[in-house]
Structure 1
Amino acid sequence: MTRRTRRGRRTTDGQTEPQGLARLDDQDFPALTMGQAAELLGVQPAFLRSLDAAGVLIPGRSGGGHRRYSRNQLELVARMRALLDEGLTLEAAVRVTGLEDELGRARTRIAELEAEASEQAGE
């Protein structure tokens, strides 16, 4: 178990981790600049800007207004790029990724319900 202190997060071994480092574990924390994200994904920054302009991907913003991307957003961009490379339109790629995400959430919920049912049956 961890708990927060004024200087950061105290870990189970009693060490204090700086607050900023704790956010790096957060998949939704917008830590990467547009240039870093584009380089990691092998795309042009213009591609990321186009997804933002289309409302498909809304990156965080730095204090100076620069786009910042999270790891979850990078995964979405990679999935979108693969679908676009297969010949899908942007609209179709958005729909496919949305349906894939819904299916993943449904499968997770089914697994939870099955686990609950197994627990209740074993009581």
Structure 2
Amino acid sequence: MASRSTPSAFDDADYPAYTMGRAAEMLGVTPDFLRSLDGAGLVEPERSSGGHRRYSRAQLALAARVRELLDQGHTVLTIAFRVAELELELNAVRERNAELEAGRSRSRS
């Protein structure tokens, strides 16, 4: 048994625990919908040794959000564009954070 301080697959939101069928059932969507998200590069599940898609809780949350956006009238293309835009912004923030941390470390020395 894993100790409280050691993360386990049960606690890991990125652990690919759910089959496509179970993921589709949990989200109330079809497996084809999940395949389309994979094809669009929006939700890219892990693959089992047999090649079957496996989804994490984090990926299911993202898929649920994509479903909401589609229901609001957005297209997969506009959603993918916005995800790409946000990834660029996130990378810029991470780079800036690293610069600030490096500056803080130098000032302590």
TM over 0.5: yes
Alignment partner of 1:69 is 2:55: yes
Is the contact between residue 13 and residue 56 of structure 2 (CA under 8 Å) also seen in structure 1?
Answer: yes
Structure with larger Rg:
1
Task: Give structure 1 stretches of 5+ with no counterpart.
Answer: 1-7, 107-123
RMSD: 3.1
Q: CA deviation at 1:53?
A: 1.3
Q: Distance in 2 between matches of 1:64 and 1:75?
A: 25
**Deviations 1:38-75, CA, capped at 9 Å, x for gaps:** 00000000000011112221100111110000001001
1:96 Cα deviation from its structure 2 partner: 3.9
Q: Percent identity?
A: 51
Alpha-carbon separation, structure 1, partners of 2:40 and 2:59? 15
Which structure has more strand as a fraction of its residues?
Answer: 1
**1:32 aligned residue:** 18
- Number of aligned residue pairs: give it: 109
Q: Higher RCO, 1 or 2 (CA under 8 Å, sep at least 6)?
A: 2
Structure 2 unaligned blocks of 5 or more: 93-109
Structure 1 runs of 4+ aligned residues shifted over 3 Å read 95-106
| TM value normalised by structure 2 | 0.71
